[in-house]
Amino acid sequence: MVILAIDTSAGTSVALVAHNGEVLATHDTLDTMRHAEVVGQAIMNVLADAGVSASEVTLVAGGVGPGPFTGLRVGLAAAVAFATARGIDLHPTVSHDAIARGWFEQQGSGDLTIGLRVVTDARRKEVYWSDYAGLTSGIPVRLTGPAVAKPDDLPPPVGEGSLNTVNAAAVSAIQLALVARAEQGSGITRAFQPLYLRSPDVTLSQGPKRVSS
């Protein structure tokens, strides 16, 4: 019983985690431009490092973002394809939840009630953000978000101990796997929905331009 987690919402992070929560292998590339190049080798590496064959993977956790679109899609396409190839479930997992879980884990064990804001780069001088109230049964309790905003337009944080903010440049696939594991354990399922949070850049045509004066 092994979870393969893939997240390309920031760099490329891939991990193998056993269903008891034991981390078997992880492979992280911080480069935010080369997801398509590295994702295949990253999956191969974690399988090889853990000595696990692809057929032993029983669940795929795919980070649905938020994150810059082009890279985000690479990991999700890989997650969809791996799950399809092995005939196993894909558990779409919010990438910010992985960041939050990692932070909560550093604060202590068990359930926690601490306010936390997760902020990641959304490019174009904007950020993606989510607010959390704490951790319950290993699952971050998300109050607001993920959403996208200019840094100056962020609302005041809510929840207890509201000054905690994590500005993350990376997402850990280990944490993503642990969130997916906890959600599966609690019977939480999520629709496959990449969190783009922005519409495609396109404006409707105003008709053909004149070519003669």
Partner 1 sequence: MSTLASALPEVTNRSNPLVLGIESSCDETGVGIVRGQQLLANVISSSMDEHARFGGVVPEVAARAHLEALAPTLAEAVATAGVRLSDIDAVAVACGPGLAGALMVGIGAAKALAVALNKPVYAVNHLVGHVGADVLGPEGPFELPAIALLVSGGHTSLLLVRSMVNDVELLGETIDDAAGEAFDKVARILGLPYPGGPEIDRAAAGGDPAAIRFPRGLTLPKDLAAHRYDFSFSGLKTAVARWVEIRRDAGDEIPVADVAASFREAVVDVLTAKAVAACVDLGVPRLLLGGGVTANQRLRQVAQERARTAGIDLRIPEFSLCTDNGAMIAALGAQLIMSGAKASPLDFGADSTLPATRIFVT
Q: Under the rule (CB under 8 A), what is the footprint of partner 1?
A: 6, 8, 25-27, 34-41, 43-49, 53-54, 57, 69-70, 73-82, 84-86, 192, 194, 196, 200-202, 204-205, 207-208, 210-212
Instruction: Give me the least distance between CB of 201 and partner 1, in Å please.
Output: 6
Q: What is the 3-state secondary structure (H, E, C) of the chain?
A: CEEEEEECCCCEEEEEEECCCCEEEEEEECCCCCHHHHHHHHHHHHHHHHCCCHHHEEEEEEECCCCCHHHHHHHHHHHHHHHHHHCCEEEEECHHHHHHHHHHHHHCCCCECCCEEEEEECCCCCEEEEEEEEEECCEEEEEEEEEEECHHHCCCCCCCCCCCEEEECCCCHHHHHHHHHHHHHCCCCCCCCCCCCCCCCCCCCCCCCCCCC
Measure the CA–CA gap between 177 and 51, rounded to whole angstroms.
18
Kindly tell me which of 28 and 97 has the beta carbon lying closer to partner 1.
Answer: 28
Kindly tell me which of 39 and 99 has the beta carbon lying closer to partner 1.
Answer: 39
Instruction: Give me the least distance between CB of 67 and partner 1, in Å please.
Output: 13
Measure the CA–CA gap between 163 and 178, rounded to whole angstroms.
25
Instruction: Give me the least distance between CB of 143 and partner 1, in Å please.
Output: 28
Kindly tell me which of 43 and 94 has the beta carbon lying closer to partner 1.
Answer: 43
Instruction: Give me the least distance between CB of 80 and partner 1, in Å please.
Output: 5
Kindly tell me which of 82 and 104 has the beta carbon lying closer to partner 1.
Answer: 82
Instruction: Give me the least distance between CB of 120 and partner 1, in Å please.
Output: 20
Kindly tell me which of 31 and 160 has the beta carbon lying closer to partner 1.
Answer: 31
